[in-house]
A = this chain, B = another copy of it.
């Protein structure tokens, strides 16, 4: 299945918005064995859009369009599609009823602009969009499938996952392709690659290994294709198990599991509670923990101790400790953990203190120095990170590292 992507919007042509949708869609399409053969970006311009549609349809089985929908956008995408298919518009009562419900829940009423939004090209099958007011549109004409989706990333992603990808797989059944992803944390891509050199060299032709790194984590994705589905599942499982053994000290989960999900499952299984004491991570660690539904079962609270007075007065970090070792030190994060255990009464506490940057470094403690401590009533473990100069990356990396420390401590510090 060949796919052409068409992204629409003046904001893309003046550089106000970076087109991250295309890359996301391309990745998802690859996973179902489809191939993107080209991407075009046009402004909110009827003529340009129609031309782009014509070009795309000549080169592909599927044309995916994002953007150019919505009440203030003059609906250029819908107009272009109607003109391209030489069809008229029809009012979708179903869409309008959905929009009315959507707004009445918010205590507001739908406007005339929303009513206008409900006129759809006659040949469109509508794809329900629970994330917004504009539904997706599916067209199947002359052996080419066209799908129009909103440009807002989470709306597009919802539609792709819930509607578009499953329908495309039904519409264009091809050779089976299976994936299994092993998720690791705590080691860089090239060091992992070194450990997997022999494994990779010995993989059969129909199994491939991809390294997908993100800050502090590497996903190892095995892809197998061809043959029968049963056989393929068996092959994939065999190599996944072999791979897992080679990096078992780094593996925290599989496929779509996130580190914070696994942290939550581990704490819940062990019936443990956790609290955080954050300086340099500034609440981001608590945020990642509480991004998981039901996290109140194991997360009780946090002290974000940005100022030294808060470290002293709330967490009981000693003035001597701050004076002798500084706020960014092993001694300070140890005392932060002890203080948090006392204050919140949790089974586990974790503390962070570092120089996130870009300013504030010294020769002995350059920007990117981060101290972490985790512990319970009996034992406190510490770790020092030396990161770069990018503030947000330092915050995120420290948070990922801290999440993994919680997971490990929950497994290792309790019977």
Contacts and interface: CB of A to CB of B under 8 A. Distances in A.
Interface of A: 10-20, 22-30, 35-43, 48, 52, 55, 70-73, 105-108, 111, 113-114, 131, 152, 154, 179, 181, 189-191, 193-194, 210-213, 219, 221, 223, 276, 278, 281-287, 289-291, 293-296, 299-307, 309-310, 314, 343-345, 356-359, 386-388, 390-393, 395
A12 B30 contact: no
28 contacts: A11-B221, A13-B26, A13-B35, A13-B38, A14-B179, A14-B223, A15-B26, A15-B27, A15-B28, A16-B181, A18-B23, A22-B41, A38-B40, A38-B43, A39-B41, A71-B189, A73-B211, A282-B286, A283-B284, A287-B287, A290-B356, A293-B358, A300-B306, A300-B307, A301-B303, A301-B306, A303-B304, A309-B345
B386 A106 contact: yes
A15 B11 contact: no
Contacts of A293: 356-359, 391
Top 5 A-B pairs ranked by shortest CB distance?
Answer: A282-B290, A283-B286, A15-B26, A283-B283, A15-B27
A41 B295 CA distance: 39
Given A306-B301, A344-B310, A39 B13 contact: yes
Given A13-B37, A37-B48, A290-B395, 11 more contacts: A12-B22, A15-B25, A17-B212, A18-B18, A18-B23, A40-B41, A296-B307, A301-B305, A302-B302, A302-B303, A303-B303
Interface centre among A13, A113, A194, A223 (most CB of B within 10 A): A13
Contacts of A387: 106
Contacts of A388: 105
Given A15-B25, A386-B107, A193 B113 contact: yes
A276 B38 CA distance: 48
A194 B72 CA distance: 10
How many monomers of this chain does the complex have? 2
Contacts of A18: 18-20, 22-23
Given A290-B282, A296-B306, A40 B39 contact: yes
Contacts of A309: 300, 345
A314 B343 contact: yes
A83 to B, nearest CB: 19
A175 to B, nearest CB: 15
Nearest to A214: B152
